[in-house]
A = this chain, B = another copy of it.
Amino acid sequence: MPKYVYRFHEGGKDQRDLLGGKGANLAEMTRIGLPVPPGFTITTEACRAYMRDGRVPPGLRVEVTTALREVEDTLGRRLGAPRDPLLVSVRSGGKYSMPGMMDTVLNVGLTDASVHGLANMSGDERFAWDSYRRLMQMFGATVLGVDARAFAEALEARKAAAGARSDVDLTADDLRGLVDDYRQIVSTTCGRDFPQDPREQLDLAIEAVFGSWNSERARLYRRRERISDDLGTAVSVVAMVFGNLGENSGTGVAFTRDPSTGDSGAYGDYLPHAQGEDVVAGIRNTLTLDDLRERDPGSYDELVVAMRRLETHYRDLCDIEFTIERGRLWLLQTRVGKRTAAAAFRVAVQLVDEHLITLDEALGRVTGEQLGRLLFPRFDRTADTPLLTRGLGASPGAAVGEIVLDNAQALTRTQAGAKVVLVRRETNPDDLAGMIVADGILTARGGKTSHAAVVARGMGRCAVVGAEALDVDEAHGEVRVDGVVLRPGDVVALDGTTGEVFRGDVPVVDSPVMRYVADGLDAGLQAAPDDEVRDVVHSVHRLLTHADSVRRLRVLANADTADDAHRARARGAEGIGLCRTEHQFLGERRHYVEQVVLADSDDERQSALAGLLPLQRADFTALLEAMDGLPTTIRLLDPPLHEFLPDLTDLSVRVALAEERGRVDEHDVRLLAAVRRIHEQNPMLGLRGVRLGLTVPGLFALQVRAIAEATVELRRAGRVPLPQIMVPLVGSVREMQLVRAETEGVLAEVAQRSGVRLEIPIGCMIELPRAALTAQRIATQADFFSFGTNDLTQTTWGFSRDDVEGAFFSDYLENGVLTISPFETLDADGVGALVRIGVERGRSARPDLHCGVCGEHGGDPESIHFFHQAGLDDVSCSPFRVPIARLEAGRAAVLVGEDTTT
């Protein structure tokens, strides 16, 4: 039989799996001699057995009896004894923190008899009755399943009868009466009396905590946080200590460093004559730790020593909960503390400088997501723009613009050059047009997985959702917020990170960290307004530099133009992993594409293509010049040709109306026939990529020639252009063979004519399941692989990104099919399985095959860790995300084998 109960002195901090975070840390603090009330922890294994069998596992009762007896012996008191009762708290706590999701019961052990003992012992009758009614309230609701409102109503009635404004105004007698009321409520609702056997209270409370693991809200929370339902919670049983036994008692929370700024030195809140829940309730204003020093220097000193001990021991910023009972300090909880992004970088570097951790470890303490937060522009908080309201920060960034209430307004105003914020009660797919042109999106309803939130994140658009104070009145064309009335044209500002909504224009300031990654350390330091921020920039610099030195993954950028390329290079990109050539066919060049499509003969088509040659050669020359000396991967044309032509429906309507009006445009009619001919039901799965190259003669040859001639031109000018040619949408080795033959032919011809040797690698995208599955063949014809995880996600899941994110991803995130969009973070189980298969089979044919990834996942932290583990050689992402990818690639290298999900 497994051991289900660990006394605090038996466990330790590495047993989070078994004892939960809280239990493991209580044990650790006990072990290193810090003042923790005696107690024990029942393991998660017991909880799992309870979930499996529907009852507490045999043997647990006896183990609890033994452990409880030890606690009783230590303190010289018995649980719920009438004269001098031991009281305990029964606390939930799983491996991962799930704040407020599971149950906890305090004051277990109080009965009609022992309440008198507590009054005696504490010398405070009011305190005893208040403790008892709190137990009945918590136990009644949590363990016995009484509707909490019944207790609240009885409390209100008592207050009214006593003329009390607040709970604290109730006297001992009032509270004794309230206990009578509660006793009545329990008997009536449950058909049984409130249990008077202390041990029965304890056993029922333990079982209730086990059960709370599977409450609806806990399950929902876990699904969202991607915590497995199978883990179970541990239960810690801790002797009660009381901060509400007079002015020399109190309770507080403290941090070993400031979690907001990262400043070193203890930091915290203290509330005298109070229990933990009073601090949380925020009824009274808290004091600072300095105040505590003045009031109780002994406890203060003891606390500071304990905190230093904890930080040295945990080698990280810790937060703690503590209680002082009549001048004696007790630590009730500790954990590695949450902190802001800025604090994370500063604290990590401070700990290195204090020789507590290594640089590798420091790198593990910060995340790309935190770095990302430091890169966004922020509103200038020194400006005194009034806060209008607050919602959920659903998609980060800062947006300022005129309010628009529908698509029509959004389009009209943006066409007139205005920046707009689309304000809706909630959004649905009809609102897409407006969302696309808006700078920001603001809704009154919905959470972080609502339609607005999902679509906005997908588009990288700033959004605040669920700002419930907003009353969006479309009928009257106005928005009301707490008495303020706003109309279209009024300006608002959204902070997509904090969820704040401001009225009027708020100046936006560049982030100094952004200045640093874009322009170097000096620029970043100069942009910092004070020493604190300068220290943030310094800390980022040290950790990013370290990440560069340890990472194995090369970080490249997705960049289509010379401008993009310069930006990427400045941010540390070591090359271009994906240059899309689509834009080279857009704008004024569309008419060449029209000519290609409308061509009646091969000659006509070739002459249209020839017209594009000098334009594209100039594009490539500029790009390759910008990337001088660094590899530059150019993808041959990917999208279907109809993307360069007018929309079928629009054109059909135009032609039908023109006919109706007797003003037929011959070009439109001809174009309509062509658009109809090449129209596809599912263009994502149609004539595009390599299929286009093999079907439209001369198309790929044109691109290859432009690349080759640009290379020759730069080589003659003494530069070092390093183009690589990448073929999209390959599904079969034969496609690669055919394109390779054509490409090598063009390269050889240009090389011969120019006398410049051209050794340009020819590789392909792996973005179809079939490419991954037959990678061992494709590798024989490809000099490198680049996983196109966007398309691979589309085909592996059968999701069209254009369609599904708006249509049902919000439902799918709500019902738990998805925990995050697979277009945001790589789906390791499905798409990732194909990536692994592709790498493995490809290298089985060509052991030195270079494999990279150029989907948007290349800039996503969790995905980068996956790619590192899957053995890829590089990731490519947008220039903006290059620093984030550098940091995460470094973290992936130092965290290998560790749990990287935090």
Contacts and interface: CB of A to CB of B under 8 A. Distances in A.
Nearest to A651: B649
A628 B738 CA distance: 54
Interface stretch (A453-461, A581-589, A614-622, A728-736): A728-736
Interface in A677-713: 677-678, 680-687, 691, 694-695
A685 B830 contact: no
A477 interface: no
B682 A684 contact: yes
Interface in A815-839: 815-818, 827, 829-831, 833-834
A773 B796 contact: yes
A293 B359 CA distance: 100
A799 interface: yes
A164 interface: no
Interface in A799-815: 799-800, 802-804, 807-808, 811-812, 815
A815 B738 CA distance: 8
A803 B656 contact: no
A791 interface: yes
A677 B430 contact: yes
A649 B653 CA distance: 8
A744 to B, nearest CB: 17
B817 A773 contact: no
A19 B818 CA distance: 59
A408 interface: no
Contacts of A827: 770
Contact of A660 (B657, B686, B694, B812): B657
Contact of A684 (B649, B681, B796): B681
Contacts of A661: 660
A677 B734 CA distance: 41
Instruction: Determine chain A's interface SS by DSSP, over half rule.
Output: helix
Nearest to A732: B817
A327 interface: no
Contacts of A395: none
Contact of A769 (B729, B767, B815, B830): B830
Nearest to A654: B656
Contacts of A791: 798
Contact of A816 (B428, B673, B734, B774): B734
A731 B803 contact: no
Contacts of A656: 653, 656-657
A241 to B, nearest CB: 44
Contact of A799 (B648, B653, B685, B818): B685
Among A653, A673, A817, A834, the one with the most B-chain Cβ atoms within 10 Å of its Cβ is A817
Interface string A488-503: 0000000000000000
A800 B686 contact: yes
Nearest to A689: B798
A797 interface: yes
A795 interface: yes
Contacts of A773: 796, 829-830, 833-834
A409 interface: no
A432 to B, nearest CB: 9
Contact of A694 (B429, B673, B796, B812): B812
Contacts of A673: 430
A310 interface: no
Interface in A361-418: none
A768 B796 contact: yes
A681 B653 CA distance: 19
A652 interface: yes
Nearest to A735: B817
Given A685-B800, A800-B682, A770 B653 contact: no
A794 interface: yes
Nearest to A681: B802
Contact of A795 (B677, B738, B798): B798
Nearest to A794: B685
Contact of A830 (B681, B683, B774): B774
A830 B841 CA distance: 13
Contact of A682 (B770, B802, B815, B816): B802
Contacts of A804: 685-687, 691
Q: Which one of A652, A773, A804, A812 has the greatest number of beta carbons of chain B within 10 Å?
A: A773
Interface string A746-765: 00000000000000000000
Nearest to A432: B677
A678 B811 CA distance: 15
B731 A798 contact: yes
A872 to B, nearest CB: 19
A683 B804 CA distance: 10
Interface in A620-652: 648-649, 652
Contacts of A678: 429, 807
Interface string A587-615: 00000000000000000000000000000
B834 A685 contact: no
Given A657-B657, A803-B680, A770 B685 contact: no
A680 B800 CA distance: 9
A808 B691 contact: yes
Contacts of A428: 677
A647 B791 CA distance: 27
A729 B798 contact: yes
Contacts of A829: 770, 773-774, 777
A596 B176 CA distance: 59
Given A680-B803, A803-B685, A694 B817 contact: yes
B681 A800 contact: yes
A800 B691 CA distance: 13
A685 B687 contact: no
Nearest to A692: B808
A796 B834 CA distance: 11
A685, A794, A831: residue with the most chain B Cβ atoms closer than 10 Å: A685
A475 to B, nearest CB: 16
Nearest to A655: B653
B797 A695 contact: no
- Residue of A653, A686, A770 most packed against chain B (CB within 10 A): A770
A775 to B, nearest CB: 11
A807 B597 CA distance: 13
Contacts of A796: 768-770, 773, 795
Contacts of A802: 680-682
A791 B681 CA distance: 15
Contacts of A795: 769, 795-796, 798
A496 to B, nearest CB: 26
A141 B678 CA distance: 46
A882 to B, nearest CB: 29
Contacts of A808: 687, 691, 694-695
A796 B796 CA distance: 7
Contacts of A731: 797-798, 830
Interface in A329-378: none
Interface in A250-309: none
Nearest to A656: B653
Interface in A764-785: 767-770, 773-774, 777
Contact of A811 (B430, B653, B694, B729): B694
A597 to B, nearest CB: 12
Contacts of A768: 796-798
5 contacts: A653-B653, A681-B800, A732-B830, A769-B796, A770-B797
Given A694-B817, A695-B807, 17 more contacts: A429-B677, A429-B678, A430-B677, A649-B652, A652-B652, A653-B656, A678-B807, A680-B807, A681-B800, A684-B800, A685-B685, A687-B804, A687-B807, A734-B817, A769-B830, A770-B797, A791-B798
The 6 closest A-B pairs by CB, nearest first: A685-B800, A770-B830, A682-B800, A686-B803, A680-B803, A681-B802
